[in-house]
Amino acid sequence: MKIGVDLDDVLADTWNETRKFLNRRFGKNLTNKDFNDFGLAKTYGVSNDEVRKAFADAFNNGLYLNAKLIKGAVSGIGRLEDGNELYIITSRPRYIEGDTYSWVEKNFPSKFKEVRFSSHTTDLKEDTEKETKAEICKELGVLLMIDDNLDNLEECARAGVKGIVLDLDGNYNWNHREREPDGVERAFSWKEIVKIAQS
């Protein structure tokens, strides 16, 4: 089976460091509980341009290149690669492509057939000319997408691609809803992701 895997906060623990960086930049002390969606400008009370600039500065400070691994991701990918074809499908902006390839090769050498970059589903739509994750899944023949963004997975499900939403230890408030979209299951760890994917 072909499986798509998101990068940020599914494989790479980027959000915690990004949140700390944004807190310092904007003089806040926000925790994960303060983020109910991906509307960062609204949550921080700043403009989209200010958030984009902060993300660029975070990149220049090596945040994405030096990101830590999500707990259980290496062993989870090791189990999923057996008998499956894995793809990273990320909505990172183009200027992070070099660091993205370097990080993936360092942490997951030869585990993924390809890394694809999609458009954003957040308020930072700087790469709107790129395909959506659902479009990339259909093009590649991906049957299962693993992501922390329910909007992406809902769109994938409408295109016939099943989804697993990662809500690591129940701490990803941005993807909490009353119920999952049809075709999407919730997992709280990589162990649960593997169990669902193999069922």
Phi-psi region of 183 (alpha: psi -120 to 50; beta: other; left: phi over 0): left
- What is the three-class DSSP state of 58? helix
Identify the pLDDT of residue 123: 45
Identify the pLDDT of residue 120: 60
- pTM, two decimals, is 0.90
Identify the pLDDT of residue 129: 57
C-alpha 109: how far from chain center: 19
Question: Are the C-beta atoms of 27 and 109 separated by less than 8 Å?
Answer: no
- What is the three-class DSSP state of 166? strand
pLDDT along the chain (199 residues), means of 10: 97 93 95 82 92 89 93 98 97 87 97 90 53 95 97 95 97 90 96 97
Strand 2-5: give its sheet, edge to edge: 114-117, 85-90, 2-5, 144-147, 162-166, 184-187
Query: Which domains does the chain possess?
Result: 2-13+68-197 (3.40.50.1000), 15-60 (no CATH)
